[in-house]
């Protein structure tokens, strides 16, 4: 098995084991038992908790963005694409409910927290710019309010996702998050639609 496969197995094991636990409390032995990767390999691939946190962030970003790109490339009207993207976020939160807690933990780490904050900031800026382009198409098609600002609507979209991510910490991966996500989406849509 190659290093990238080992890395992914360790990351998935950490995400699954982290339910209510801090990463630095998991230990290489637990990651070994859950991932099937040797303890020496776990320690070699992720010699410290900061590197594991960075790996988890990279894995989550990649996997979420692949799903978002798939939703965005469908031949649908802009607001339908946006709705699909929104529901991809909610479904990802439900399937990986420990990620928001792990991200908050990683941001609080003295080593690597600053770099991670910078990476997240850059990612969010790029993501909001792409969402604004999609929302600009909705404005061009005159399916949103005349006073609509695509850049502000893109930021609001991201804030909604962030809010649901924070709520998922207390709700966990439940039907509640799916139900609340549908209600939040309808209110967002109601606020921007013409």
Find the CATH number of the domain harbouring 162: 1.10.357.10
pLDDT confidence of residue 22: 82
CA distance 17 to 34: 8
Note the pLDDT of residue 13: 94
In this predicted structure, what is the pLDDT of residue 169? 82
> Could you give the CA distance from residue 116 to residue 113 in angstroms, rounded to a whole number?
5
Domain, as residue range, for 33: 1-47
Determine contact, residues 14/28, Cβ cutoff 8 Å. no
Q: Please give the pLDDT value at position 167.
A: 87
Same domain, 41 and 70: no
Which residue numbers in the chain have pLDDT < 70? 1, 112, 172-173
Q: Where are the alpha helices (DSSP H) in the chain?
A: 3-17, 27-35, 39-45, 49-72, 78-95, 99-108, 113-140, 150-171, 175-192
Domain tally for the chain?
2
Q: What pLDDT does residue 172 have?
A: 66
In this predicted structure, what is the pLDDT of residue 12? Answer: 94
Q: Which residues contact 42 (CB under 8 A, 6 or more apart)?
A: 10, 28, 31, 32, 35
**Residues with Cβ within 8 Å of residue 128, at least 6 apart in sequence:** 151, 154, 155, 158
Claim to verify: residue 91 and residue 71 sit in the same structural domain: yes
């Amino acid at each position: 098995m190659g290093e990238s496969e080992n890395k992914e197995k360790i990351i998935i094991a950490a995400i699954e084991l982290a339910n209510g636990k801090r990463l630095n409390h998991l230990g290489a032995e637990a990651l070994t038992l859950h991932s099937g990767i040797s303890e020496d390999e776990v320690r070699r691939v992720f010699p410290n908790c900061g590197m594991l946190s960075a790996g988890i962030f990279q894995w989550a970003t990649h996997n979420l963005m692949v799903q978002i790109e798939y939703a965005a490339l469908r031949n649908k009207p802009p607001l339908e694409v946006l709705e699909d993207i929104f529901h991809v976020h909610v479904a990802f939160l439900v399937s990986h409910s420990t990620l928001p807690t792990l991200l908050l933990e990683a941001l609080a780490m003295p080593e690597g927290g600053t770099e991670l904050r910078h990476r997240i900031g850059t990612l969010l800026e790029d993501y909001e710019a792409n969402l604004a382009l999609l929302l600009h198409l909705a404005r061009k098609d005159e399916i949103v309010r005349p006073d609509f600002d695509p850049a502000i609507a893109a930021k609001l979209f991201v804030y909604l996702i962030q809010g649901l991510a924070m709520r998922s910490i207390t709700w966990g991966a439940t039907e509640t998050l799916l139900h609340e996500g549908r209600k939040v989406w309808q209110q967002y849509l109601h606020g921007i639609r013409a």
